[in-house]
Chains A and B, each alone.
Chain A
Amino acid sequence: MHNYTITELIDGLKNRVFSSTEITQYFLARIKTLDPAFNSIITLTEAQALEAANAADQRLAEGNAPELCGVPVVHKDIFCTQGIRTSCGSKMLDNFVPPYDATVVANFRDNGAVMLGKSNMDEFAMGSSNETSFYGPVKNPWSTDSVPGGSSGGSAAAVAARLAPGATATDTGGSIRQPAALCGVTGLKPTYGRVSRWGMIAFASSLDQGGPMARTAEDCALLLNCMASYDDKDSTCIDRPVPNYSANLGDSLKGLRIGIPKEYFSEGLNTGTEQAVRNSLAEYEKLGAELVEISLPNTGLSVPAYYVIAPAEASANLSRFDGVRYGHRCDNPKDLEDLYRRTRAEGFGDEVQRRILIGTYCLSAGYYDAYYGKAQQVRQLIRQDFIQAFEKVDLIMGPTCPSPAFEFGAKGNDPVAMYLEDIYTISTNLAGLPGMSLPCGMVDNKPVGLQIIGNYFDEARMLNAAHQFQQVTDWHQLAPAGIEA
C-alpha cells in the first residue's frame, strides 16, 4: 500500500480497490510504528484524518469527487490549520492553535485530500539540516546519522519513508529542493506568487513560496494543480490562470535546450554528486535534449545577498511574536519591555535569534543602504543573469546541493558553512524563478538530487522534463533500507 504513488492511489480509490478510510488507517498506523525513528511528524491528526477520510469516501461513492479526494497528505507545520496546533518548529508557537486555515490547506481540504498530520521543520524554516526544530531533529530515512536537509526535512523524510504519499513544503532559499535531494524525493518550488502565502507563517516574504513534495514528478503535478491558485488575501500572489500541470507530462523532449551553468560545477562540488548529475544530463541527451553551456556570473553573490535580505525580512516578520496576542509569553513580566524581551528570548531558538540580530543590523540606521539596499540591487543582477540565459535555453539544470546528506553536528558551529549548503538553490528564490529537485543517483548509499530551474511560470515544462526522466530511470523508486520498496 505505501508504495503506491498518488496517481495509483487515485486510481484505486476511483475503482473501489480500497477506500480512503482504509488507506488513511494504513498510513496512520505506519506513522505510529515507524516515525519514532525519524521524528518527521510533530502532530498526528488522527481523529480529523479519519473524519475527512469518511467524508471523502462518501463523496467518492456519490461520484464527481475532486481530483485528490481521499488522498492522504501531510502539511508542513508552517501552514496554519484551523483548530490544530501550528508550531512552525518553535517553542514560541508550541501552544498556537490557529483560528483559520491557510489558503493552501483550504485548497487541499476543498479538493477532498486527507491531512494525516503536521510535519517537522527547522524553527521558522531557518535551517538546512532540521537541527533547529524545537521538537528535535528529523532523521534521514537513508541514514539516521545524517540530516534530512531543511527546512522542510519532515515533509521530505515522511515521503521518503513512505509515511505519506505526498506533502506540502515551503522554500525560501532551498527548503523544498535541498531536503528533497537529501531524502531522494521529488520537490518543486513554484514561481514566486504562484501559490498563496496566506496563512503560511512568514519567514522572508519576498522569497517564501509553498510547493509540493512527492515521490514522482507526476504526483507533484497533481499536488500543484491543487496548491496553485490566485488569492486575493495574498497581495503578492499573481493573477494568472492555473494550467493543468498534468496535461503535458508525456510531451517529447526532442529539441529541448538545457542550459548547464558552469558556475554550478565549480569547487566545492562533491565528485560523486557531479558524476551523478552529469550521467543524468547524458540521459537527457538520449531523450533528445540539447545541452548548452551557459554562465550565471553573479551566482557567487547570491549567498551574501540572501543572508542580508532573508534575515532583514525575518527580523521584521518575527517582530509580531511579542507575547501579547498569541503564542509563548514569559512568566511574571515586570514591565512591557521585560515582557517583550524575555518572551522572545525564551520563545526563539539560537539560530532564529541570530538571524533577527543580523537582520536588525542590516536594517539599522546608517547600514540600510550599504546592506539591504545593496543586496536588493545585487538581486537584480542575479535576475538579469537568468533572464539572459533563458533567451538561449528552455530549462537550466545542475546539482541541487554540493554533496549528499551530511552527519548531524557536522556544520553546527559554523553558520556560514551551513549557509553554503544552499549555494545552488538560493539564486532562484532571489530571482523568483521556479526550481525543482528530483532523484538522479546515489553516493555512499545516499541520494543525489538533480535541480531543474525553469523560466517564470514554466512549471509545466519542468514537470514534463522531470517526468520523462523518471520514465527512463528508476532513482525515484529506490527506497531506504528497512523501508520495503
Chain B
Amino acid sequence: MSIEKQTIENLATLARLAIDDKRVEEISQRLGSVLELVDQLQAADTSGLNDSDHPLSETQRLREDKVTETDHRGAFQAIAPDTEDGLYLVPKVID
C-alpha cells in the first residue's frame, strides 16, 4: 500500500513539516506499510465499547480556579531564540 503524493503533501502542511520532494516516495512507502499494519484494527468487533482516553478510565481531576503559578517570564524567555521587551519575536505576519 502506498500513499498518494498529494496526501503526503497535505499531511506535511497540517503537521508544519517541510518535506523534500526526493523523500516523498520513501515516506509514502513507509507510511503505507504502517497503515497496512494499523488497518488490522478494522476487523475487531468493538460494538458497545466507548473510547476512554485514560488507561485506567479515571476522570480528569479539576482544581480550584485560582492563580497558583508565579511569574517565570524572564527565565522562560532567556532560552528563547528571539525576544524583545518581554515578547517572542517571529517573522512579520501582517504587512
Contact = CB atoms under 8 A, between A and B. Distances in A.
A304 interface: yes
Given A304-B39, A345-B17, 4 more contacts: A339-B90, A344-B17, A357-B31, A378-B41
A235 B61 contact: yes
The A interface is mostly helix, strand or loop, or mixed, namely: helix
Contacts of B19: 345, 353
Interface stretch (A111-119, A127-135, A152-160, A326-334): A326-334
Given A307-B37, A336-B91, A431-B55, A341 B31 contact: no
A298 B88 CA distance: 48
Contacts of A416: 33-34, 36-37
Interface in B28-43: 30-31, 33-42
B82 interface: yes
A340 to B, nearest CB: 4
A100 B90 CA distance: 25
A362 B18 CA distance: 19
A127 to B, nearest CB: 14
Nearest to A315: B15
Contact of B49 (A236, A324, A380): A380
A150 B63 CA distance: 36
Contact of B41 (A96, A236, A308, A364): A308
A378 B21 CA distance: 36
B6 interface: no
B63 A301 contact: no
Contact of B46 (A206, A339, A348, A381): A381
B93 A381 contact: no
Interface string B38-82: 111110101001111111101011010000000010011011111
A357 B27 contact: yes
A375 B90 contact: no
A206 B78 contact: no
B46 A364 contact: no
Contact of A338 (B12, B76, B88, B91): B91
Interface string A343-364: 0110010000110111011101
Instruction: For the complex of A and B, list the 9 residue pairs with the smallest distance between their C-beta atoms, beginning with the closest.
Output: A432-B55, A376-B51, A377-B46, A341-B18, A99-B75, A345-B18, A329-B81, A340-B16, A377-B49
Interface string A419-434: 1000000000111100
Contacts of B91: 333-336, 338-339
Interface residues of B, number: 51
Contact of B60 (A192, A235, A378, A431): A235
Interface in A255-298: 298
A371 interface: yes
B50 A377 contact: yes
Contacts of A362: 38
Interface of B: 7-8, 11-12, 14-20, 27, 30-31, 33-42, 44, 46, 49-56, 58, 60-61, 63, 72, 75-76, 78-82, 88, 90-93
A408 interface: no
Contacts of A191: 56
B14 to A, nearest CB: 5
Q: Which of B20, B88, B91 has the most CB of A within 10 A?
A: B91
Contacts of B7: 361
Interface in A362-380: 362, 364, 370-380
A325 B41 CA distance: 38
A384 B79 CA distance: 46
A443 B16 CA distance: 45
5 contacts: A304-B41, A345-B20, A356-B17, A378-B41, A414-B33
A432 B8 CA distance: 33
Contact of A336 (B18, B38, B93): B93
Given A192-B56, A232-B63, A308-B41, A354 B11 contact: no
B76 A325 contact: yes
B18 A342 contact: yes
Nearest to B69: A233
A444 B84 CA distance: 60
